[in-house]
A and B are shown apart, each in its own frame.
Chain A
Amino acid sequence: MKVDSRITKKEAYLKPDETQATVTADVPLPEETAEGALAERRLETNAAVPTGRDSSVWDFKARGEPFLWGLGGALVFGLLMIVGFVALIVVNGIATFYPVPIEVVKTSDGTLLAGELIRTETFRPTADTLKTLPAEEVARIEASKGLETRRLYRIGNFDLYNEDFKWIPEYKIAETTEPPNMYFVERMEWGPFIGTIKSADLNGTVIEKSELSDERLKQAHREAVTRRQRIRSIERNEIAKVNTLLEQRRLALRRVELRRGAESPEYKTALDAYNKQAALLEIQYQDLSKEAAVVKDQDARYTITLADINGREKTIKFSDVVRFYPANRLTFLDKVDVYLSRWWEFLTWEPREANTEGGVMPAIFGTFVMTVLMAIAVAPFGVMAALYLREYAKQGRMVSLVRICVNNLAGVPSIVYGVFGLGFFAYMVGGSIDSIFYPERLPTPTFGTGGLLWASLTLALLTVPVVIVATEEALAAVPKSLREGSLGCGASKWQTIKYIVLPRAMPGIMTGLILAMARGAGEVAPLMLVGVVKLAPELPIDSIYPFIHLERSFMHLGFHIYDVGFQSRNAEAAKPMVFVTTLLLITLVFLMNIVSIFIRNRLKKRFFAGHF
C-alpha cells in the first residue's frame, strides 16, 4: 500500500531497539512488567551513553512531541472552556441569593449612598476627568498605569432614584462603612429598598423604630403576609373562577345563537337561563369583592415607613414587603435562612417586576408539562416507526433511503420545526379546530394560535428522529439468535417483539427518550413561534374545568432566560435572575443526560454480559 511504503521509507533509519522503547511507553503493560522493563532500559541507556552514537533514544521527528502538545493543548483548552463555563454558571447561580452586607459610601463631595457591592472592575479615566481630580489621586492613577478601579453598587430604591445600580470610581470614595441599622427590604413593587426602618404604623399605633424589635416587626410582617395571601386568593382564585364561569356561560349562549339563530326559541330559553345564572354569579362576585375590599382596607392600616440613607422617607404597606433583614447584623445562620427562603421564593413563586424578581414556578411548571406531553406524543410514534423500519419493513434500498432521511431530519434546524409548527399546527389545524368547535369565541383564537399542545407536538416532531434512531440502534443490538429462538419456540412475531425484543431494547429506547426530553426541555427557538410567552399568569393545569388547558400559552425556563436577559428594563438587575434560571435549566438537562448515559452504560454491560 502507498501509505505503508511511505512510512517504511521515512522511518528506515529508526533503530529497532529505539522503537521498542516507544511501543513500551504507550501500550501499558502490567504494573510489575513495566517496572522491570523500565529498569532494564535504564541500564541500557546508561550503558549506551558513552558510545555517543547510539545514545539518542528517539528520533524527534518520529516522536512528534510538538504535535502531541498541540493535540493535547486543544483537548486541554476544550476542557478548560467547559470547566470555566460550568463554573461560571454554578458560581454565579449559587451565589446570587446569598445576602451581602450593605455598604454606606461617603463620596468626596460629601454625598452618601448605600448599597450592596456587586463587583469592581478597572477602567481608564478620560483625560478630562483626570484634570478635575486632586494631584494625589492623579498620581495614584498614574502609578497604576492610568487605570482606576470602580465599584458597582446596587442602590435599590428605584422609585426614589430612577436607577438601581451606580458605578462609583475609587477616587470619589472618601470612606465606606457598614452601619448596623441598614435594612435590605425586598418589596412587591419597585425592587428592593435599601435604608433604615423609621417607624411602623400598626393599625393606627405609630411605633418608632427605637421601640420596635426585629421580632415585633417579623410578627407584624407574618400577619401582613397572611392578609396578602388572602387578598390574592380571593382575587386570583375565587373571583377569577366566577369570571371564568361567567365567560363560559356567555360562550355557551353565543354558541346557541350561532347554531340556532337569535330568533329561535332555543336561544330565548338559553338567554333566560344565562340571565339567571349571570345574576347569581354577579351576586357571588359582589360578595367576593366586598370581602376583598374589607381585607384590603384592614391591610392598608398596617404600614411601615422606610428612610433611605439621605433621610428620604417612603411609606409602604406592610404586606408589600416580601422580606426584610438587617444586612449588616446577620449571623451565618440568618444568612443561610435568607438564602434558603430566597431559593424557596424562586422555585415556588410567580415572577414579579417584568420577570426580574420573584420566582419561576410557572416556567418550571410549563417546561415540565410541555416536556411530559412531548414525551407522551413522541414515545409511541418513535418506537412504532423504529419497529417498522427494523422489524417489519423489507430491508432494502428504500428502507436505507428512509433511514438516511430520518437521520437527516435529526439535523434539521429546530427553528424550521418551529416555522412548520406555527404554519401547520397553529394556523392550519388550530384554525380548523376553532372554526369547527369554537366558533363562538372567534375572532379570538382558541387553538388557532400558539399553545401548549402545539408546542408539545412541534417538539415531538423535532425529537422523533432522535427516538427513532436510538430505538433502531437498540433493536439492532438485540441478538438475532434471541429472535430466532423465540420464533422457533412457536411465538408469533408480535409475541417475540413484545416479550423478547422490546424488553431487551428498553434501556436503549429509554436512553433515546430521555435524550429527546433533554433536548426538548432545552429548546427555545421553535417555542418562541408556537406558544411560549413571557408571562402567563394562568397555568396550563388548574382547578377549572377541563383542568388541562392545552390551548393556553405557557412559560418556559429557556425562554425565560432569553426574555429576562434581553427584554428587561435593566440587564444588570436581571442578570442574577438569569444566572439562577440558567443553573436550574442546566441542572435539569444535565441530570437527564447523566441518567441516559448511566442507562446506556448499564445496557452496554448487559449486552456484553449476554455475549460471554
Chain B
Amino acid sequence: MDNDARSLKQTRRWVLIADKVADKVITVGGIGVIVAVLGMLVFLIFEVLPLFHGGTVDFAKSYTLPTSSSRTMALSMDEYLTMGAALRQDGSIALWHAKSGAALQPLMMDLGGKKITAFSSTLDNSGFAVGFEDGSVQFGRLKFSADIIEEADVPEAAEKLNDAQRTDGTAIYTTIPGRRVRKVSAAIELDEPVTVSDAGKPIIALDYHLSTFGERPKRTFVTVDADGVAQVSLAESKLNLMTGASKTTLSKVNLPPIPGNTPITKALVNDAGEEAFFVDANSTVHRFNLRASDNPVLAESVRLTPDGVRLTTLGFLTGQRSLVVGGSDGSVSIYFLLRNDKAPSKDGYQLVKTREFEPQTSPVTAFAATTRGKTFATGDESGNVLVRHGTSQATLLRLTTKPVQDAPPLLMFSPRMDGLIDLTANTLNIWGLNIPHPEVSFKTLFGKVWYEGYSEPGYTWQSTGATDEFEPKMSLVPLIFGTVKATVYSLLFAIPIALLSAIYTSEFLPLKVRSKVKPVMEIMASIPSVVLGFVAALVLSPIVETWIAAILLAFFVGPVTLIVMAFLWQLLPPTLAVKFDGVPKFLFMFVVLIFALYLAYRLGPLFEHIFFAGNFTTWVTGAIGGPAPFLFLMNLPVIGLLVSWLFARYYNYRFRTYILARPMPYSALLDLSRWLGLTIITLILSYISAKLMTWAGLDPRKEFMGSYVQRNTLIVGFAMGFAVIPLIYTLAEDALSSVPEHLRSASLGCGATPWQTAKWIILPTAISGVFSAIMIGMGRAVGETMIVVMSAGNTPLIDWNIFNGLRALSANIAVELPEAPKDGSLYRVLFLTGLVLFSMTFVINTIAELVRIHFRKRATQL
C-alpha cells in the first residue's frame, strides 16, 4: 500500500524486522500455548483409549505335530513362548518349538507300565496328577527351566530354528539382548504313586488342589473309581533331607454315595479343598461340602444347564471362586457358591448363576483359564474359540480353528497370557495374544458387576489386592458418588454463608469496612488446600468428634440468637437504631454470634443428653436412644418455613396494618410476640410430626446414617467450605457490586428500604452473576484434592451418611497413581478418572462462564 511504501523510507530497517519478528513470535507462541493447554485433553483421551480396545492377535501359526496313537491329556508351555509340550495318555510328553512346530526329543514318564485312566492338572499345567487303572494316583510336575548362559556355553551342534533361536534337540537357545543366551529346557518330576481305591478299581475322575508349596506340599484331591466310590484324600509329602527322597503320607475319607448311579465324568475340587463337585453323565452336578474334613456332606445335586442341555465343560477361573459352565447349547456362564440361609442345600450355600456370556454357536467342548486375571477361553465343536473375560463379561477375541470330528480341541494359555494354543487332533494352532486391559470395559467401569465373593452385584472400587488371584474391582461409580457427596455437603455449608455474607458486604456494610473485609476474604482464597486438609484432619476432626452435639446445636442456636437479637434491636428507639446502624451494629453482631457459639458450647452436653441419649457417636449407630428427638430437629426448619409462609400468606397484611398503627415500643413488641408465637407453633408441630414419624417407624439412622467415623463428610464439608466460601463470596460480591449504582439510587429514591432494594432490585439483577459464582465454587469443590485426601478417610462407599467417609475421584488419583505401574490397567483407569474430573469441571465452568457473559451483557445494558 501507499502508506507502507512511504513509511518504509522513514522507518529504520530493524524496527520493521523487530515488528515482523514480534508478530510471528507472538502469534506462533500465543497459538502454541493455547494449543498446548488444550492438548492436555487430547493427551488424556489418547492415554485412555487403549482401555477400550480389547485385544489383538500378534501372530497366528498352525502346524501339524507328529502323529501319535495316544490321546493328549494336556498342553503346556514355558514363560517365553519358546517350547510347547503335550502330555499324552501313554505317558509320553511331546515337545516342540512353539513358533515353528519343530519337534524336539520327547520325554517319557516312568509309570511302571500302568495305564492312565484319569488326569488332572493345575491351571498353568505345570503340576498334574494321573489316576491309574489299578486305583492309584501319582503326582508329577512338568518343569520348564530358563537359564541365562553365555554364548560360549551353547553346544556347537545346535541347529538354527530362526534368527534368534537354536536347538540341540533337547533345549532351545534364544539370543537375548546383552549378548547372552537363554536356555529353555523341560524336565519331568514324579512323586511316588499312592493307592486310593480300596477295591483297586480304575480311577475315572480326579482333581486336586495344592494347598502349600515348598518343601512339604499338601494336596487335597478327590477321586471317583469305576465303582462310583468318591473319596477325598489328603496327601502330604515330606522331603527326607538326608536321602532327598520324598515320602508321601495319605489320609482318605469316603464321601457319601453319589445319588443317581450314573457314571461320573468330571471331578473338581475348589480353593482350599473345601468343596468338591462331581458331574455325572446326566449333567447333574453333585456338590460335597468338605469343610468338616472327617465328615463330608453331600450339599446339593443340581443341574446347572437347562433340561435337555448337556453340561459339557466345567472349570474354575484363577482363584477358584468362579465356576465356568459350558453347555451343549453353546451357553457359557459363571456360577458362584454363595451363602444363602434359605438355600435348598444342606450347608447353607448355593450355586448361583451370576454371569452369562455370549454363547458359542455349537456345544462348548474346550475351556482354558489363565493364571493371570480372570481371562478364559472357550472352544466349540465348530472350531470357534472365544477369548473372554470373567469380570467384564466381554468377548475379547474371536479365533477360529478347523474342527475335526470326534476330536475335542484342547486349549491352553501361555503363562504370561501372551499366547493361546489349541490342539485339535494333530493340528496345533498358536496365537500370540496382546490383551493389555482385559478386565476393563464400559460395564465394569460404570455398571453394576457381581464380583467374586459378593452376595449381590454392586459398584465397587478396590483396585489392588494381596494375591494374584484377586479380581480388580474398578467401578468409577463410588468415586463419582464420593465427589458428588463431598461437593454437595460442602456447598450446603458454603453457599448460604458465602452468599449471605456477599449480600451483606455489598449492600449493608459501610464502605470503609467493606474495603477491609474484602481483601481478607480474598487472601483466604489463597490458603493452600494442604493446610486446610491438615487442620481439618488433625485438629478439627478430634474436636468435632468430642463436641459434635455442640456443633450441631450451634447450627440452631446461631440463627435463632441472631433472629432474637434482631427483634430486640427493633425495640430500640429509632433515633438510636439509626445512630448505631453501620459499624456499631456490625460489631454488635460479632458479640451476639460469639455469645451464641459460647451458648452452644455450654449447652452442648445437655443437648446431647436430651436429644442423643448422652452420646452422639453411639446414638448414630442406632444402639441407644430413639429417633424422635432427631426427627424433631430435622422437622424444625421445614415446619418453621411452612408456618411463616402460611402466616405471611393469610395474616401478614392484616397484621402489618395493625401494628403500623401502634406506637413504637408496642409495635416492636407485637412483632416480637408474633415471632415467638410462630416459633411456639413450629415447636409444637415439629414435636407432633416427629412423634408421628417415629410411630410410623421412620428412623433416619437406618436410611442415611448408621455410623460415625472420625474423618467424615462433615469435616470435609467444613474444610472444603473454607476453601470455597472465599471464592463464591468474592465472585458473588463482585456481581452484586457491579449492579449499576443508578438502579440502587432509583430504588432507594422511590422509598424502598435497603433491604427491599437488595431483595427486589439488586439480587434479581445480579442473580446470574451470583449463579456463576456458585458454579465456579462447585467446580473448585469437585476438583479439590488435598482436603479430601487428608480428611475424608478415603473409603469408597456409596452412602449419604454425613458422618461417614468418602473417596473422591481426585483423592483416588492422588492416592493410587504413584503406585500404579505405567501403562497398566489401573494407570489408564486413573487417567480416565482424570478425564472424568476434567470433563465435570469443564462443563460446570463453561456453564458458569456462559452465565457470567450473559450477566455482563445485561449489566452493561442496564
Which positions in A face B, CB cutoff 8 Å?
A: 3, 6-8, 11, 13-14, 16, 19-28, 38, 41-42, 45, 49, 52-53, 55-82, 85, 88-89, 145, 380-382, 384-389, 391-393, 402, 404-409, 411-420, 422-424, 427, 461, 464-465, 468, 490, 492-495, 497-498, 515, 518-519, 521-525, 528-529, 558-559, 561-562, 565-566, 571, 575, 578, 582, 585-586, 589-590, 592-594, 597
* Chain A residues with CB below 8 A from B528, complex form: 521-524, 558, 585-586, 589
- In the complex, are the beta carbons of B508 and A419 less than 8 A apart? no
CB distance from B525 to the nearest CB of A (A): 9
Tell me which residues from 578 to 608 in chain B have a Cβ below 8 Å from any Cβ of chain A: 578-579, 581-582, 585-586, 589-590, 592-594, 597, 605
Given the complex of chains A and B, what is the CA–CA distance between A420 and B537 in angstroms? 28
| Of listed B509, B523, B531, residue having the most chain A CB within 10 A | B531
- Interface assignment of B634: CB less than 8 Å from any CB of chain A: no
* Chain B residues with CB below 8 A from A582, complex form: 531, 534-535
The answer to whether residues A76 and B756 also contact, given A411-B776, A418-B813, A558-B528 and a CB cut-off of 8 A, is: no
- Interface assignment of B558: CB less than 8 Å from any CB of chain A: yes
Given the complex of chains A and B, what is the CA–CA distance between A338 and B1 in angstroms? 78
- One of A38, A384, A427, A575 near B575 (C-beta < 8 A): A38
- In the complex, are the beta carbons of B671 and A416 less than 8 A apart? no
- In the complex, are the beta carbons of A45 and B661 less than 8 A apart? no
CB distance from B552 to the nearest CB of A (A): 15
CB distance from B734 to the nearest CB of A (A): 13
29 contacts between A and B (CB under 8 A): A8-B750, A26-B748, A58-B753, A60-B668, A60-B671, A63-B755, A66-B562, A70-B500, A70-B562, A70-B563, A71-B500, A71-B503, A74-B504, A75-B504, A80-B597, A85-B527, A412-B842, A413-B783, A413-B784, A413-B785, A416-B838, A468-B33, A492-B16, A493-B23, A494-B22, A498-B22, A585-B530, A593-B522, A597-B523
The answer to whether residues A77 and B558 also contact, given A145-B605, A589-B528 and a CB cut-off of 8 A, is: yes
Closest 8 CB pairs of A and B: A413-B783, A388-B30, A522-B528, A64-B755, A74-B500, A19-B751, A525-B785, A75-B501
Task: Name which residue of chain A comes closest to B842, CB basis.
Answer: A408
CB distance from B69 to the nearest CB of A (A): 50
- In the complex, are the beta carbons of B813 and A415 less than 8 A apart? yes
* Chain B residues with CB below 8 A from A6, complex form: 760
* Chain A residues with CB below 8 A from B563, complex form: 66, 69-70
- In the complex, are the beta carbons of A420 and B526 less than 8 A apart? no
- One of A26, A53, A74, A409 near B37 (C-beta < 8 A): A409
Task: Name which residue of chain A comes closest to B852, CB basis.
Answer: A407
The answer to whether residues A69 and B841 also contact, given A53-B661, A56-B667, A519-B526 and a CB cut-off of 8 A, is: no
Given the complex of chains A and B, what is the CA–CA distance between A74 and B592 in angstroms? 12
Given the complex of chains A and B, what is the CA–CA distance between A304 and B644 in angstroms? 77
* Chain B residues with CB below 8 A from A392, complex form: 23, 26-27, 30
* Chain A residues with CB below 8 A from B667, complex form: 56, 60
| Of listed A55, A419, A559, residue having the most chain B CB within 10 A | A419
- Interface assignment of B276: CB less than 8 Å from any CB of chain A: no
Given the complex of chains A and B, what is the CA–CA distance between A359 and B669 in angstroms? 63
Tell me which residues from 1 to 44 in chain B have a Cβ below 8 Å from any Cβ of chain A: 7, 10-11, 15-16, 18-19, 21-23, 25-27, 29-31, 33-34, 36-38, 40, 43-44
Task: Name which residue of chain B comes closest to A590, CB basis.
Answer: B523
Given the complex of chains A and B, what is the CA–CA distance between A436 and B44 in angstroms? 25
Tell me which residues from 501 to 550 in chain B have a Cβ below 8 Å from any Cβ of chain A: 501, 503-505, 508-511, 517, 519-524, 526-531, 533-535, 537-539
* Chain B residues with CB below 8 A from A3, complex form: 760-761, 764
Task: Name which residue of chain B comes closest to A50, CB basis.
Answer: B663
| Of listed A8, A490, A498, A528, residue having the most chain B CB within 10 A | A528
- One of A65, A88, A528 near B535 (C-beta < 8 A): A88
Tell me which residues from 807 to 830 in chain B have a Cβ below 8 Å from any Cβ of chain A: 810, 813-814, 817-818, 822, 830
Known: A27-B748, A74-B496. 9 other contacts (CB 8 A): A19-B752, A70-B563, A405-B38, A412-B838, A415-B810, A416-B40, A420-B40, A498-B22, A528-B814
The answer to whether residues A55 and B19 also contact, given A26-B581, A524-B528, A525-B786 and a CB cut-off of 8 A, is: no
- In the complex, are the beta carbons of B817 and A419 less than 8 A apart? yes
Given the complex of chains A and B, what is the CA–CA distance between A71 and B725 in angstroms? 14
Given the complex of chains A and B, what is the CA–CA distance between A447 and B473 in angstroms? 33
CB distance from A522 to the nearest CB of B (A): 3
Given the complex of chains A and B, what is the CA–CA distance between A431 and B841 in angstroms? 30
- Interface assignment of B837: CB less than 8 Å from any CB of chain A: yes
CB distance from B592 to the nearest CB of A (A): 8
- Interface assignment of B239: CB less than 8 Å from any CB of chain A: no
Q: Which of B459-467, B625-633, B652-660 contacts A (4 or more CB under 8 A)?
A: B652-660
Task: Name which residue of chain B comes closest to A496, CB basis.
Answer: B19
Task: Name which residue of chain A comes closest to B44, CB basis.
Answer: A420
Given the complex of chains A and B, what is the CA–CA distance between A493 and B527 in angstroms? 41
Interface SS of chain A: helix
Given the complex of chains A and B, what is the CA–CA distance between A412 and B16 in angstroms? 40
- In the complex, are the beta carbons of A416 and B519 less than 8 A apart? no
- In the complex, are the beta carbons of B526 and A589 less than 8 A apart? yes
CB distance from A589 to the nearest CB of B (A): 6
CB distance from A212 to the nearest CB of B (A): 41
* Chain A residues with CB below 8 A from B846, complex form: 404, 408
- In the complex, are the beta carbons of A60 and B570 less than 8 A apart? yes
- In the complex, are the beta carbons of B558 and A41 less than 8 A apart? no
The answer to whether residues A85 and B530 also contact, given A22-B754, A56-B660 and a CB cut-off of 8 A, is: no
Given the complex of chains A and B, what is the CA–CA distance between A63 and B577 in angstroms? 12
- One of B500, B527, B756, B818 near A586 (C-beta < 8 A): B527
Given the complex of chains A and B, what is the CA–CA distance between A521 and B529 in angstroms? 11
* B residues contacting the other copy or chain, number (CB 8 A): 143
CB distance from A277 to the nearest CB of B (A): 25
CB distance from B549 to the nearest CB of A (A): 13
- One of A391, A393, A414, A594 near B785 (C-beta < 8 A): A414
Given the complex of chains A and B, what is the CA–CA distance between A387 and B562 in angstroms? 51
- One of A64, A69, A74, A465 near B497 (C-beta < 8 A): A74
CB distance from A542 to the nearest CB of B (A): 26
Given the complex of chains A and B, what is the CA–CA distance between A412 and B842 in angstroms? 7
- Interface assignment of B559: CB less than 8 Å from any CB of chain A: yes
Given the complex of chains A and B, what is the CA–CA distance between A230 and B830 in angstroms? 48
CB distance from A445 to the nearest CB of B (A): 10
- In the complex, are the beta carbons of B526 and A590 less than 8 A apart? yes
Task: Name which residue of chain A comes closest to B573, CB basis.
Answer: A45
- One of A11, A427, A593 near B822 (C-beta < 8 A): A427
Given the complex of chains A and B, what is the CA–CA distance between A81 and B717 in angstroms? 14
CB distance from A454 to the nearest CB of B (A): 14
- In the complex, are the beta carbons of B19 and A59 less than 8 A apart? no
* Chain A residues with CB below 8 A from B519, complex form: 597
- In the complex, are the beta carbons of B23 and A494 less than 8 A apart? yes
- In the complex, are the beta carbons of A73 and B529 less than 8 A apart? no
- In the complex, are the beta carbons of A59 and B29 less than 8 A apart? no
Task: Name which residue of chain A comes closest to B827, CB basis.
Answer: A423
- Interface assignment of B782: CB less than 8 Å from any CB of chain A: yes
Task: Name which residue of chain A comes closest to B563, CB basis.
Answer: A66
Given the complex of chains A and B, what is the CA–CA distance between A74 and B503 in angstroms? 10
CB distance from B773 to the nearest CB of A (A): 12
- Interface assignment of B706: CB less than 8 Å from any CB of chain A: no
Given the complex of chains A and B, what is the CA–CA distance between A404 and B37 in angstroms? 13
Given the complex of chains A and B, what is the CA–CA distance between A292 and B21 in angstroms? 59
- In the complex, are the beta carbons of A7 and B760 less than 8 A apart? yes
* Chain A residues with CB below 8 A from B582, complex form: 28
- In the complex, are the beta carbons of A423 and B47 less than 8 A apart? yes
* Chain B residues with CB below 8 A from A85, complex form: 527, 535, 722
- Interface assignment of B57: CB less than 8 Å from any CB of chain A: no
- Interface assignment of B364: CB less than 8 Å from any CB of chain A: no
* Chain A residues with CB below 8 A from B573, complex form: 45
- In the complex, are the beta carbons of A492 and B19 less than 8 A apart? yes
- One of A28, A412, A565 near B534 (C-beta < 8 A): A565
Given the complex of chains A and B, what is the CA–CA distance between A404 and B662 in angstroms? 57
* Chain B residues with CB below 8 A from A427, complex form: 822
Task: Name which residue of chain B comes closest to A450, CB basis.
Answer: B818
- One of A20, A68, A70, A423 near B43 (C-beta < 8 A): A423
- In the complex, are the beta carbons of A19 and B19 less than 8 A apart? no
